[in-house]
Amino acid sequence: MERTLGLIKPDAIAAGYTGKILDRIIQAGFLLRGLKMLHLTRPQAEAFYAVHRERPFFESLVEFMTSGPIVAFVLEKENAVAAYRDLMGATDPAKAAPNTLRALYGQNIERNAVHGSDSPENAQREIAFFFSESELIPLQTPTLAAI
């Protein structure tokens, strides 16, 4: 079993898609191991997206991610990182496969509804950014979705 981090971004929350997105994730066989809603501060957003600091979209990304609340969650499944990335779809919703989260709920390449870790190593780092171990349900413990 593997863990990955997911985020529901401010655009999807403002549009009222939080429940629909979480339902699709659970229906796809993922187990939720942690879940919280928060409003990122500018320093938090800058730290989380530091890998993109030199990219031209960094400033607008930070501005967007601090514009409203987000939902952070930890998912568990075999090959969770790849499976969640498949469920999310391409970064640009216009290029995302039909019925993926971004095709269904994203507005454009910047306001694309969801984030997911891009590797198991980054998943560990990103999960630790948002959650302490005590906030997570242990691996392979049954949850309501599994019962």
Contact between 130 and 36 (Cβ < 8 Å) = yes
Indicate the length of the chain as a whole number. Answer: 147
Answer whether residue 82 is part of any domain.
yes
pLDDT at 138: 80
- Report the distance separating Cα 74 and Cα 117, nearest Å: 10
Answer whether residue 88 is part of any domain.
yes
Answer whether residue 39 is part of any domain.
yes
pLDDT at 143: 54
Q: How confident is the model at residue 123 (pLDDT cuts 50, 70, 90)?
A: very high
Q: What is the CATH number of the domain that holds 116?
A: 3.30.70.141
Domain span at residue 65 reads: 2-138
39 catalytic per annotation: no
Answer whether residue 120 is part of any domain.
yes
Answer whether residue 84 is part of any domain.
yes
pLDDT in tens, 59-104: 999 999 999 999 999 999 999 999 999 999 999 999 999 999 999 9
pLDDT in tens, 3-21: 999 999 999 999 999 999 9
Work out the number of other CB atoms within 10 angstroms of the CB of residue 33: 22
CA dihedral for 33, 73, 48, 120, sign (positive or negative) = positive
Answer whether residue 127 is part of any domain.
yes
Task: Supply the mean pLDDT for the chain.
Answer: 94
Answer whether residue 56 is part of any domain.
yes
Mean pLDDT across 102-117: 96
Single pTM value for the model: 0.91
Answer whether residue 143 is part of any domain.
no
Asked if pLDDT for residue 144 goes beyond 90, the answer is: no
Residue of 76, 115, 117, 127 with catalytic role: 115
Domain count, the chain: 1
